[in-house]
Amino acid sequence: MSKVYADAKSALDGLLKDDLTIAAGGFGLCGIPENLITAVADSGIKNLTICGNNAGVDGFGMGVLLNKRQVKKVIASYVGENKEFERQVLAGELDLQLVPQGTLAEKFRAGGAGIPGFYTRTAYGTRLAEGKPTRTFDDGREYVLEEAIRADVSIVKAWKGDKAGNLVYRKTSRNFNPMIATCGKVCVAEVEQLVEVGELDADQIHTPGIFVDRIIQGARYEKRIEFRTVQGAAVSKKESENPEQLARREQMARRAAKELRDGYFVNLGIGIPTLVANHIPPGINVTLQSENGLLGIGPFPTEEQVDADLINAGKQTITALPGASFFSSADSFAMIRGGHVDLSILGGMEVAENGDLANWMIPGRMVRGPGGAMDLVSGVKRVVVLMEHTARGASKVLKTCTLPITGKGVVNLLITDLCVFEVVPGQGLVLKELHPGVTLDEVKAKTEASFRVAL
């Protein structure tokens, strides 16, 4: 009984029909089953529910299925970078269920592992947990019950595979693939290199063949890169046109870098937080975590080093340092949710005086999804937010968040372009520092939240 098929079309033969739930591996466009997606698109089946971390981009990845109007529902953590998707959701043509990234990875794992539900702190108190059962555990905190996801068909992409279906992934293209492989009633895998049984080291197989029903060597791989970023190109053209803003941001990043301690494991969010990596104090050795499955982020690559299988959570090309390790999204968020990451530095839209953070959506405008933000703020030991103090003259440091929150009472330190607030549990905001040239009166005038001063 051979698992090997000639091509993507024949590998899906007999499995495809309207109304299926299809789960697909990949993070952004990294590690997606390109050939199988094309075959699903070519099949013309409709009314699909598709699950995966993202929904591709216009015209590539799972985006192809959206362009062809084959999809009725999407379950994902982040759906930016896709205009046709946005149009369909806003027009009510598409049902979108957003799930925090770590919860999503765990839901797929649970689906494959015979665990119908699990509890997590992620999203507690946010609209993504509305209506879900909660339970208080021994630590006195409340947790949300999340249910497993199972798919009719799961499609995954690996680097190497053998004819028994054993799979090995490469770098950050592992991401959601291992869990997705387990959650389908049927799993079809495509690989760049199909080898004979016995050629893979039994200690180094990421997905054992028991999970893979059919396997193909992919005909061709485009391996498109979403944000090709090389050394020296970290400052975008738009940013270089606004040197004052850039200077403010560098100042915030420099201040945030003072929170680093030797030996720390740190997750840096997209945007200003990424700049913190440029300001690590001498003698301080920190390991940067990327929630798509890497510990040990290095600098941006040279042109020659650019590797489509090696990206960060912002989907930029990066490098990995000696001592780095790659792992699945489920393992990555186990790290994050389990409190093993020492520090998370991320951007914000609003911070409230009780430590609530809002940074994932603006109702009425497009929802891009929480990505890993809800997991990070709930799980990481210490959360530092970098945020401009005001937006169009209005304070972003508030008594209560007006936007839907990312986490309840999660912020430990807030660094704005004016000052630094500590959030003291039960006491609220404490003003600890003013940036050079900033007066207390200016901070008072631009802060809606009440705060104590301890300069």
Cite the active site residues: 291
Bridge-based pairing state of the strands 265-268 and 287-290: parallel
278 vs 135, 264, 265, 293, 366, CA distance in Å? 42, 16, 16, 21, 32
Q: Verify binding: residue 180, a second copy, rule CB under 8 A.
A: no
Q: Verify binding: residue 290, a second copy, rule CB under 8 A.
A: no
- Distance (Å, rounded) from C-alpha 41 to C-alpha 109? 26
Q: Verify binding: residue 247, a second copy, rule CB under 8 A.
A: no
Q: Which is nearer to a second copy, 121 or 396 (CB)?
A: 121
Q: Verify binding: residue 420, a second copy, rule CB under 8 A.
A: no
Q: Verify binding: residue 221, a second copy, rule CB under 8 A.
A: no
**Which window, 42-50, 56-64, 78-86, 288-296, contacts a second copy (CB under 8 A)?**
288-296
Q: Verify binding: residue 396, a second copy, rule CB under 8 A.
A: no
Q: How many residues bind a second copy (CB under 8 A)?
A: 67
Interface with a second copy in residues 151-170 (CB under 8 A): 162, 164, 166, 168-170
Q: Using CB under 8 A, which of 92, 114, 131, 425 touches a second copy? A: 114
Q: Which is nearer to a second copy, 287 or 402 (CB)?
A: 287
Q: Using CB under 8 A, which of 7, 42, 119, 217 touches a second copy? A: 119
**Which window, 104-112, 416-424, 430-438, 446-454, contacts a second copy (CB under 8 A)?**
104-112
Q: Which is nearer to a second copy, 320 or 419 (CB)?
A: 320
Q: Verify binding: residue 381, a second copy, rule CB under 8 A.
A: no
Q: Verify binding: residue 17, a second copy, rule CB under 8 A.
A: no
Provide the minimum distance between the beta carbon of 149 and a second copy in the complex, in angstroms, as a whole number. 11
Q: Which is nearer to a second copy, 42 or 192 (CB)?
A: 192
Q: Verify binding: residue 186, a second copy, rule CB under 8 A.
A: no
Q: Using CB under 8 A, which of 36, 158, 288, 295 touches a second copy? A: 295
Q: Which is nearer to a second copy, 114 or 425 (CB)?
A: 114
Q: Using CB under 8 A, which of 320, 346, 377, 387 touches a second copy? A: 320
Q: Verify binding: residue 226, a second copy, rule CB under 8 A.
A: no
**Which window, 40-48, 207-215, 238-246, 420-428, contacts a second copy (CB under 8 A)?**
207-215
Q: Using CB under 8 A, which of 40, 82, 121, 361 touches a second copy? A: 121
Phi, psi of 98 (to 5 degrees): -90, 140
Q: Which is nearer to a second copy, 6 or 321 (CB)?
A: 321
Q: Using CB under 8 A, which of 322, 363, 393, 436 touches a second copy? A: 322
What's at 83, amino acid-wise?
A: K
Rg (alpha carbons) of the chain, rounded to whole number: 22
Three-state secondary structure string covering the chain: CCCECCCHHHHCCCCCCCCCEEEECCECCECCCHHHHHHHHHHCCCCEEEECCCCCECCECCHHHHHCCCEEEEEECCCCCCHHHHHHHHCCCCEEEECCHHHHHHHHHHHHHCCCEEEECCCCCCHHHCCCCEEECCCCCEEEEEECCCEEEEEEEEEEEECCCCEECCHHHCCCHHHHHHHEEEEEEEEEEEECCCCCCHHHCCECHHHCCEEEECCCCCCCCCECCCCCCCCCHHHHCCHHHHHHHHHHHHHHHCCCCCCCEEEECCCHHHHHHHHCCCCCCCEEEECCCEEEECCCCCHHHCCCCCECCCCEECCEEEEEEECCHHHHHHHHHCCCCCEEEEECCEEECCCCEECCCCCCCCCCCCCCHHHHHHHCCEEEEECCCEECCEECEECCCCCCCCECCCCCEEECCCEEEEEECCCEEEEEEECCCCCHHHHHHHCCCCEEECC
Interface with a second copy in residues 324-343 (CB under 8 A): 324-327, 331, 333-341
Q: Verify binding: residue 14, a second copy, rule CB under 8 A.
A: no
Bridge-based pairing state of the strands 350-352 and 167-168: unpaired
| Residue 164 token pair | 């028994």
Q: Which is nearer to a second copy, 114 or 436 (CB)?
A: 114
Q: Using CB under 8 A, which of 13, 59, 97, 117 touches a second copy? A: 117
Q: Verify binding: residue 30, a second copy, rule CB under 8 A.
A: no
Instruction: Return residues touching a second copy (CB under 8 A).
Output: 1, 106, 109-121, 135, 137-139, 143, 147, 162, 164, 166, 168-171, 174, 182, 197-198, 202-205, 208-211, 262-263, 265, 285, 287, 289, 295-296, 320, 322-327, 331, 333-341, 378-379
